[in-house]
Amino acid sequence: MTRERLYLYDTTLRDGQQTQGVQFSTAEKLRIAEALDRLGVDHIEGGWPGANPTDSAFFEEVGQTRATLTAFGMTKRAGRSAENDDVLAAVMNAGTASVCLVGKTHDFHVTTALGITLEENVENIRASVAHLVAQGREALLDAEHFFDGYKANPAYALDCLKAAQAAGARWIVLCDTNGGTLPHEIGQIVGAVIAAGIPGERLGIHTHNDTENAVAGTLAAVDAGVRQIQGTLNGLGERCGNANLTSLIPTLLLKEPYASRYQTGVTMEALEGLTRTSRMLDDILNRVPMRQMAYVGSSAFAHKAGLHASAILKDPTTYEHVDPGVVGNRRVVPMSNQAGQSNLRRRLAEAGLEVEPGNPALARILDLIKTREAEGYSYDTAQASFELLARSELGLLPEFFEVKRYRVAVERRKNKYDRMVSLSEAVVVVKVDGEKKLSVSESMDEEGCDRGPVNALSKALAKDLGRYQALIDDMRLVDFKVRITQGGTEAVTRVIIDSEDGEGRRWATVGVSANIVDASFEALLDAVRWKLVRAGA
Amino acid sequence: MTRERLYLYDTTLRDGQQTQGVQFSTAEKLRIAEALDRLGVDHIEGGWPGANPTDSAFFEEVGQTRATLTAFGMTKRAGRSAENDDVLAAVMNAGTASVCLVGKTHDFHVTTALGITLEENVENIRASVAHLVAQGREALLDAEHFFDGYKANPAYALDCLKAAQAAGARWIVLCDTNGGTLPHEIGQIVGAVIAAGIPGERLGIHTHNDTENAVAGTLAAVDAGVRQIQGTLNGLGERCGNANLTSLIPTLLLKEPYASRYQTGVTMEALEGLTRTSRMLDDILNRVPMRQMAYVGSSAFAHKAGLHASAILKDPTTYEHVDPGVVGNRRVVPMSNQAGQSNLRRRLAEAGLEVEPGNPALARILDLIKTREAEGYSYDTAQASFELLARSELGLLPEFFEVKRYRVAVERRKNKYDRMVSLSEAVVVVKVDGEKKLSVSESMDEEGCDRGPVNALSKALAKDLGRYQALIDDMRLVDFKVRITQGGTEAVTRVIIDSEDGEGRRWATVGVSANIVDASFEALLDAVRWKLVRAGA
């Protein structure tokens, strides 16, 4: 049976950026676009060129993608032609193959928010879409407030869509802008639109999560005939967020009737990268990933109830609706029982440490991880620190060198030109092979910019480690994440450091302390020690 | 028109406790039960007496409630009578008016997990329900895995329900235990159950959020005829959580067709306490409330997009599906680089700054915010820094004092007991009223714990500000958030600091620099300056 094509339109970079507290840099937008392209979405909406400097920069810097890059903007304003609208011109200048313009379809908004006549608004939609088509672009109309508009004045709302259709819009996207329309209404109204002569092959759906029904509303629209789905990774978006593609994609690929009826651009192989992609976004946002997220959350396959956990050991399908591996996630069974140890052995094997079942070090390692996590450590991401902890308990970690002390000073004062400048200086004292070594470094980079105390410490620590020095010369710090978390009853700082070496290895280490510099130093030390283990020192 | 009664059954204290990382104390359970009772749910499921010491204690200590207290347990085991099953006896001993017993309805689970015959299982259900009824209790059957069971073997799944019905169960709860059934299937299967002779007035629905459809699945079941809804506050629960009552309750009370068709025990007045109740639960769990929660999240009525924010000023219904006050929440119009001038004026007015439209400072302020946000600043949350920036452009910010320089040293070394200890010391030099003042502080707190360099700097800065000192004596730093972000092409550190004073004011300030200490110092300075503005200095 031939499966019909469903198209996925991602708006993480545009509507997702409307999330309170979210402000992507251009570099972050490029990273997210690359991940979306790897996942296999059909459209990547990159932002509103001209309205935002980072959006304009994104379109300039983004390279070739498999997905169709789309610029977002609004229909031309009344009283000028599409050709002479400077806001629209800025959108066109991004040069994307596809352009999506928001246009109003709710009569109340046309007269109240825009203050123009209903006819002027229809003409703005028609002329703007015609302009896109004349310029050889794929045209999308983002029909703002369509569902509320249809409920208030169905004839007018449909007129707006038909104007876009007649002008050659490839997609007409039905938006539930305020997020208040329930799934059954969405299904009914989509049915009415199709009955009025706009085929589902040209319709898209764009929902918001204000009643916690964005995913269900999207599925109801697909059931009723739309063929384009708009959403965001992790359900980012204005207010309560957009429809969550991270939930929708696995449902469409794994659940009936969708799996047999439709095909998307996401392969089963790409689906295995879904959990990783979701976590990457949280990482960019420096957010703690939501454990309870459908499919990709770290609790999504966690079995806490005693009855469930024991049944899972007999047969995983007893309490799992899909196999966690299919979305790149994994099963979690509480550490306290038998399964905790076999999980640990699997993780150790991944680090090249084969430990026989029943080795008493296993229980000690589990206890230590529990204690450390209660103090604020997190070994989920800091795999290298986890490995060092386990090696230490297994007696497989040489001491290499000893840190006797360190000191770092941060100073800010006026320079001779009467400008405020800052500089950090770090001294680290280590003992290697019985010999004491003092190293000092400062935080200035090659461009004369002060990179701060952790940078100075990192350089001083890696400056002279005697016979180990040659082994760490190719390593560098590539990322640094800081989070205030709870350690027992006190707020502590957790620092995660990502390091890289010349052979392309990348590893993460963790440090925790009430003192941020101290937490950073602990993570730096682990980074160096892990590298020495890998280098066979 | 008479509205039909819908019943709300809360399982926060039982299924909600299956959330990874959640373990309520008895005292916490009592507080939550009190809040649920105030809200107006019909049943409060308190836990499994006998399985959990805190659950048993809860039933002993809980007083009179308006809601029906319910104990949870499982149907009797095979090979003994209901009267002689000690697990069931412990449940009965809690003495609740209502008892809910989980029983299996999926043939595969009966034979695989329980290892008994299909007939034995039906008899266990029948005898257990009959026992409850004989003891004068309201009986509920929690039909585990009902939807998967119905899909595998509809006749057997229905036989299990009918056994409970015949034995006198008041409610038969259809559970989607693994959370994988989509809303349209739930609707179809509920329809089939009613057609088979079990009326909707005796049916309940219990869904999980594994496909992000728990709320929609519940609504589909209500549409098909069930009259009892099970769920939890904030959607707590095993794996991805249960159906979220915090989303369902406002939808049932405010949205059609539910509002005209049904009545619940929750009054419109109690609904205004919903946001408070949701936050209280997060407070008990020591969790940061999820901003994006439907209805009750702090972002649920936050309007970030410039177009939305300016329309909201004209008429709130343009971008709000319900009035935030109805659920005890409120509207937020944050500053961001997408906000327009009208928005800006409103924000300024809230800070007590009336600026006439067209004042050229408005455009300068917007430009400055845009530039700063491109450098990594974020004014969404840091309202106090936003106000200072605006005041400075408007010529309404006195200089108060000048920071000449600062220095902070972090040191870690062995103490006389050969243990590694760390300490930070900060010196801040300010000029107030022409007079130079040097202050020094260290980072040790009263318990001898090193709180790090930012703590030391904060104390030194606020130690001697001359005639301003008395005005800032009641302020303290209450939260400190750090993230690495992009400032132009470089990674920079953004620090957000929350401060509080003796009058209960709370304000947030931001600092950005490649140097984390410097970013922190900038945010600290803003915190002090804002406090001086408010104090009328």
pLDDT, residue A498, reads: 86
Do A343-391+470-537 and A4-266 fall under one CATH topology? no
Does the pLDDT value for residue A146 go beyond 70? yes
Decide yes or no: CATH 3.30.160.340 for domain A343-391+470-537: yes
Which two three-digit tokens encode residue A317?
């399908």
Locate the chain A residue with the closest alpha carbon to B521: A412
The percent of residues in chain B predicted with pLDDT above 90, rounded, is 70
| CB < 8 Å to B308, chain A | 238
Q: Dihedral of CA A388/A392/A396/A400: which sign?
A: positive
Q: Which of B20, B301, B484 comes nearest A239 by C-beta?
A: B301
Mean pLDDT across the stretch B145-168? 98
d(C-alpha B269, C-alpha B38), whole Å: 10
pLDDT tens-place string over residues A246-304: 999 999 999 999 999 999 999 999 999 999 999 999 888 877 788 899 999 989 998 87
**Kind and range of the H or E run holding B73:** strand B68-74
Q: Which residue has the higher pLDDT, A518 or A486?
A: A518
d(C-alpha B275, C-alpha B255), whole Å: 18
d(C-alpha A206, C-alpha A223), whole Å: 14
The verdict on pTM exceeding 0.80 is: no
User: B295 — contact with chain A (CB < 8 Å)?
Assistant: yes
Contact B407 A409 (CB under 8 A): yes
CA-based nearest distance B310→chain A, Å: 9
Contact B484 A484 (CB under 8 A): no
d(C-alpha B536, C-alpha A360), whole Å: 66
d(C-alpha A299, C-alpha A525), whole Å: 31
* Beta-carbon contacts of residue A489 (< 8 Å; ≥ 6 apart): none
The residue count of chain B comes to 537
Let me know: does A271 contact A324? Beta carbons within 8 Å: no
Contact A413 B404 (CB under 8 A): yes
What value does the mean pLDDT of chain B take?
91
User: B478 — contact with chain A (CB < 8 Å)?
Assistant: no
Which two three-digit tokens encode residue B140?
């509920």
User: A422 — contact with chain B (CB < 8 Å)?
Assistant: yes
pLDDT, residue B337, reads: 45
Locate the chain B residue with the closest alpha carbon to A25: B486
* Beta-carbon contacts of residue A169 (< 8 Å; ≥ 6 apart): A129, A133, A139, A140, A141, A202
Q: Which of A21, A180, A303 comes nearest B380 by C-beta?
A: A21
Instruction: Quote the longest CA-to-CA distance of chain A.
Output: 87
Locate the chain A residue with the closest alpha carbon to B113: A311
Locate the chain A residue with the closest alpha carbon to B519: A452
For B72-260, give the CATH class.
Answer: alpha beta
Best residue of B210, B298, B332 to probe chain A, by most A CBs closer than 10 Å = B210
The percent of residues in chain A predicted with pLDDT above 90, rounded, is 71
Does the pLDDT value for residue B111 go beyond 70? yes
pLDDT tens-place string over residues A369-428: 878 877 888 887 788 999 999 999 999 999 999 999 999 999 998 887 878 888 999 999
Q: CA end-to-end span of chain A, whole Å? A: 59
Query: Which residue's entry shows tokens 């659920």?
Result: B327
Domain positions in chain A are 4-266, 343-391+470-537, 401-464
Which two three-digit tokens encode residue B345?
């004026």
Contact B514 A450 (CB under 8 A): yes
Q: Which of B183, B239, B405 comes nearest A216 by C-beta?
A: B183
Contact B183 A219 (CB under 8 A): yes
Which two three-digit tokens encode residue B309?
């924010």
| CB < 8 Å to B412, chain A | 405-407, 518, 521
| CB < 8 Å to B240, chain A | 292-294, 297, 299-300
User: B242 — contact with chain A (CB < 8 Å)?
Assistant: no
Which two three-digit tokens encode residue B137?
């209790």
Locate the chain A residue with the closest alpha carbon to B376: A25
pLDDT, residue A286, reads: 72
Q: Which residue has the higher pLDDT, B37 or B351?
A: B37
Nearest to A296 by CA among A320, A272, A270, A319: A272
The four Cα atoms B45, B46, B52, B56 give a dihedral, to 10 degrees, of -130
Contact A52 B338 (CB under 8 A): yes
d(C-alpha B102, C-alpha B125), whole Å: 9
Does the pLDDT value for residue A71 go beyond 80? yes
User: A275 — contact with chain B (CB < 8 Å)?
Assistant: no
User: B436 — contact with chain A (CB < 8 Å)?
Assistant: no
Contact B211 A295 (CB under 8 A): yes
Does the pLDDT value for residue A485 go beyond 80? no
> Phi and psi for B476 in degrees, rounded to 5?
-145, 155
- Cα B528 off chain centre by: 31
Contact B321 A210 (CB under 8 A): yes
pLDDT tens-place string over residues B383-430: 899 999 999 999 999 999 999 999 999 999 888 787 888 899 999 999
pLDDT tens-place string over residues B217-229: 999 999 999 999 9
Let me know: does B66 contact B60? Beta carbons within 8 Å: no
d(C-alpha B272, C-alpha A346), whole Å: 50
pLDDT tens-place string over residues A172-227: 999 999 999 999 999 999 999 999 999 999 999 999 999 999 999 999 999 999 99
3-state DSSP helix/strand/coil % of chain A, to nearest 5: 45, 25, 35
Does the pLDDT value for residue A340 go beyond 80? no
DSSP for A346-400, written as a single string:
HHHHHTT----TT-HHHHHHHHHHHHHHHHT--TTT-HHHHHHHHHHHTT-----
Collapsing DSSP to helix, strand or coil, A23 comes out as coil
Q: Which of these CATH numbers, 3.30.530.20, 3.30.160.270, 3.40.50.300, 1.20.1540.10, describes B402-534?
A: 3.30.160.270
Best residue of B24, B274, B292 to probe chain A, by most A CBs closer than 10 Å = B292
Q: Which of A53, A322, A451 comes nearest B515 by C-beta?
A: A451
- Cα B169 off chain centre by: 34
Mean pLDDT across the stretch A28-48? 97
Does the pLDDT value for residue A129 go beyond 90? yes
pLDDT, residue A337, reads: 43
d(C-alpha A142, C-alpha A104), whole Å: 8
Q: What single-letter DSSP state applies at residue A3?
A: P
Please report, for residues A153, A427, A526, B322, the alpha-carbon distance to residue A108 in angstroms, rounded to integers and kept in the order given: 9, 67, 61, 17
- Residue A485, classified by CB atoms within 10 Å of its CB into exposed (0-12), middle (13-18) or buried (19+), is middle
**CB count, 10 Å around CB of B286?**
8
**CB count, 10 Å around CB of B197?**
10
Collapsing DSSP to helix, strand or coil, B354 comes out as coil
User: A26 — contact with chain B (CB < 8 Å)?
Assistant: yes
User: B151 — contact with chain A (CB < 8 Å)?
Assistant: no
Locate the chain B residue with the closest alpha carbon to A333: B20
Collapsing DSSP to helix, strand or coil, B389 comes out as helix
User: B259 — contact with chain A (CB < 8 Å)?
Assistant: no
Rg of chain B over Cα atoms, rounded to whole angstroms, equals 30
**Kind and range of the H or E run holding A311:** helix A306-314
d(C-alpha A131, C-alpha A151), whole Å: 30
Let me know: does B109 contact A318? Beta carbons within 8 Å: yes
Let me know: does A102 contact A142? Beta carbons within 8 Å: yes
> Phi and psi for B133 in degrees, rounded to 5?
-65, -40
- Cα B206 off chain centre by: 21
pLDDT, residue B487, reads: 60
Selected residues 190-219 of chain B with any CB under 8 Å from a CB in chain A: 209-213, 215-217, 219
| CB < 8 Å to A452, chain B | 493, 513-518
* Beta-carbon contacts of residue B529 (< 8 Å; ≥ 6 apart): B388, B397, B400
d(C-alpha A513, C-alpha A523), whole Å: 11
> Phi and psi for B294 in degrees, rounded to 5?
-60, 140
Locate the chain B residue with the closest alpha carbon to A147: B321
Please report, for residues B385, B433, B477, B502, the alpha-carbon distance to residue B462 in angstroms, rounded to integers and kept in the order given: 18, 16, 11, 15
Contact B314 A51 (CB under 8 A): no
d(C-alpha B128, C-alpha B142), whole Å: 12
For A4-266, give the CATH class.
Answer: alpha beta
